[in-house]
Structure 1
Amino acid sequence: MTDTMADQKSRASTWFRDLRDQIVAAFEGLEDTQTTGPFATQPAGRFEVSETTRRSDDGTDAGGGLMSVMRGGRVFEKVGVNISTVHGTLGKSAQNAMAARGVPGIEDDPRFWASGISLVAHMQNPHTPAVHMNTRMFWTPNAWWFGGGADLNPCIEYAEDTAHFHSQLDAACQRHDLSYYDKFKAWADEYFFVPHRGRARGVGGIFYDDLNTGDWEADFAFTQDVGRAFLPAFVPVTEKRCDTPWTDADKDKQLIHRGLYAEYNLVYDRGTKFGLATGHDANAVLMSLPPMAKWV
C-alpha cells in the first residue's frame, strides 16, 4: 500500500468520525429543544457510546469503532450513529459476492479495509419519518471505492417533506455531476425495494456503491457532500412534525411500517450481510432494527 493510500484512508476515517460528532450533537440538540408533547417532561435523550470490535477468524483484533445509541428520548425512540474502521481477510462468500460485482483481483487477494458511518433513526411521533444514512470507503489491494446515500422512511407521508429531503440530496449531487441525482435516485428506488412485499420501504433518496471515477479526491469530496446534506435534509422535517398530535391508529401504522423496515434490513441489506459475515459486533450491525414493531 502506498503512502498516498494510507493518507487517504486516514482522511476518510477521520471524516466519518467528524460527521458522526456533528450528527450526535445535532440530535442531542433536538432533544433539548423539545419542550412540548407527551415526552417533554422526561429527561432529554442522550447517546450511550460503546466501543465495538471486529475479530478475525484467528481471534486477533481487526479494527472496530464506536456505537452510539439513544433510546427513549423526547424526539427519538431509538437512534444509532455508528462508525467503524475494520480490516482483514474476506471469507469466501464475501469474495464471491465482490467478484460478481466486478472487483478486480479479489479472488486471488482477499485482503480488505473498510471505514464508514451508518445511521438509523426511529422516531417517537408517527408523523416524523424514520431515516437512514451511511457513507463509506472500501479498499482492496487492487481497487478502492466509495458508497452510501440516505433515504426517508415515513409511515405517514407528507409530500412536502419528501420533496425537501430529495431537494437537499439533489443539490449535493449537482455540485459534482449533473447525472448523479437521477442515477442514484433510481438506484435507491431499486435497492430499497422489498420484493416479497412488492413495495418500497420508504420514499427513497439516493444510493450509490462502487464509486471509483479514477479521481479519489473528487469521489471523496462527493461522499463528504452527501454526508453534509443529511442534517439539512432531515432536521427541518423533524422539527416540523415532532409536535403533530397522533392517534393510536397512527402509532399502529408506524409499528407495522417498522416491521417492513426490519424485514428489509434482515433479508436484503448489503451492510447487514457484510457486517455479520465478516465478524463485526452483532449489536452494532443490528442497531438499525426498531425498538418495537408489529406484523398484521
Structure 2
Amino acid sequence: MTLQFDAEKIRASGWFRELRDRIVDAFEGLEDGHSGAAGEPGRFEVTETRRTAEDGSDAGGGLMSVMRGGRVFEKVGVNVSTVYGTLGARAQKAMAARGVPGMEEDPRFWASGISLVAHMQNPHCPAVHMNTRMFWTPHAWWFGGGSDLNPCIEYDEDTAHFHATQKAHLDPHGEELYPRLKAWADEYFFVPHRGRARGVGGIFMDDRNTGNWEADFALTRDIGRAFLPAYLPLVEKRLGTSWGEEERDIQLRHRGLYAEYNLVYDRGTKFGLETGHDANAVLMSLPPLAKWH
C-alpha cells in the first residue's frame, strides 16, 4: 500500500512556516524592546535554501533565517524546509534500522519541519533549541521534535517555568504524555562522553504515529505553540542581569558542550548532511564562539 497524504503534507509544511513567522516576529520584537543595549536592534537575514537531487532535479528547499550580533541574540537561527526525493544507501539503512518498512523497495521520502537554536548575548539568558517535523515515505509517516533549555547559568525557577508551560500544552493530549516526553528528552539530550545532560531538559518525541494523523498533528502544533510562552519570559527576566568575564567564560565552555552534542549525536544534523541539504542550514545550530579546556 502506498500512502499519498498530499493534503496533509501541505497542511504540515504550512504550519511550520506559520510557526517560523511567529517566532521571527517575536524575536525581532525582543530586539526592539531591549532599548538599554548598545547598537541597533538585530534583524534576521533570510536566505533561500535549495536541495538538488543527484540527477540535478529540484528536491525542495526552504528558508534559513539567521540573526547575528543583536542586542539580545548573539546568534539565532530559525530554519524551515520541505525536502523530498530518494534516500541514499546510508539513510535507507538508518531508516530501516528504525523500523521503517519498505525502504529497500521504494526509498522515496518527503520531510518538512522547523528548526531553531538561539545563543544569547547575556550569559544569564538561556540558550534554547526547538524543532518539529513531519516525515513521510510511501509506507509510513510520523512526527517528531520538541524543545529543550540550555542555560549556562541555571535558575531553578526558569527551569520550572519552561517545563510547566510545556506540560500545560501537552496535558490536553493526555496527562501521561508530558512525563514520557520529558523522560525521552532527558535520555536523548544526554552527552555520553561527558556523562551529563547538555541542558536542563524539555520534551522530545520521534517516530510519532498513533494511526491518527489529525491527533498527532495537533500534538505537534501544540509543542510548537508552547515554545514562545515557555521561553520569552525567561529572556525578558534575565536581560538586565549584569555579567562579566567570569560569566562569559562559563557561557563559552557550555557552548562547547552544545557543539559536541550537535556534531556527534544529533539525528537531525546527521540526516541533513546525509541527504544533501544545504550544509550552512544544517549546521546553523553551532554557536558563533565556543571554548574548550
TM-score bracket for this pair, using the shorter chain length:
over 0.9
Structure 1 runs (4+) greater than 4 angstroms displaced: none
Task: Quote the sequence identity (%).
Answer: 74
1:254 aligns with 2:251: yes
- 2:173 is paired with a residue of what secondary structure? coil
Match of 2:188 in 1: 191
Match of 2:29 in 1: 29
- 2:85 is paired with a residue of what secondary structure? strand
Contact 2:109/2:136 (<8 A) preserved: yes
Q: CA shift at 1:141, angstroms? A: 0.2
CA distance in 2, matches of 1:201, 1:238: 19
Among 68, 80, 91, the residue aligned to 2:77 = 80
Among 110, 113, 120, the residue aligned to 1:113 = 110
Q: Which moved more, 1:92-101 or 1:266-275?
A: 92-101
CA distance in 1, matches of 2:104, 2:246: 52
Q: How many residues align?
A: 292
Q: Which runs of 5+ in 2 are unaligned?
A: none
CA distance in 2, matches of 1:240, 1:107: 51
1:67-126, CA deviations, whole angstroms, 9 ceiling, x for partnerless residues?
Answer: 000000000000000000000111111111111111111222110000000000000000
CA distance in 2, matches of 1:162, 1:124: 19
CA distance in 2, matches of 1:132, 1:24: 14
Q: CA shift at 1:2, angstroms? A: 6.2
Q: CA shift at 1:252, angstroms? A: 0.2
Correspondences of 1:147-296 after superposition (within 5 Å): 147-296=144-293
Match of 2:139 in 1: 142
CA distance in 2, matches of 1:68, 1:89: 26
Counterpart residue type for residue 285 of structure 2: S
- 1:175 is paired with a residue of what secondary structure? helix
- 2:17 is paired with a residue of what secondary structure? helix
Q: CA shift at 1:178, angstroms? A: 1.6
Match of 1:125 in 2: 122
Match of 1:19 in 2: 19
Match of 1:60 in 2: 57
CA distance in 1, matches of 2:47, 2:244: 35
Q: Which moved more, 1:95-104 or 1:218-227?
A: 95-104
Match of 2:8 in 1: 8
Q: CA shift at 1:171, angstroms? A: 1.1
Counterpart residue type for residue 101 of structure 2: P
Counterpart residue type for residue 51 of structure 1: E
Counterpart residue type for residue 21 of structure 1: D
1:255-276, CA deviations, whole angstroms, 9 ceiling, x for partnerless residues?
Answer: 0000000000000000000000
Counterpart residue type for residue 139 of structure 2: N
- The TM-score normalised by the length of structure 1 is 0.97
Match of 1:45 in 2: 42
Counterpart residue type for residue 12 of structure 2: A
Kindly report the root-mean-square deviation, in angstroms, between the aligned alpha carbons of the 2 structures. 0.9
Q: CA shift at 1:247, angstroms? A: 1.7
1:132-186, CA deviations, whole angstroms, 9 ceiling, x for partnerless residues?
Answer: 0000000000000000100000000000000000011111111102211111111
- 2:242 is paired with a residue of what secondary structure? coil
Counterpart residue type for residue 33 of structure 2: T
- 1:133 is paired with a residue of what secondary structure? strand
Contact 2:184/2:205 (<8 A) preserved: yes
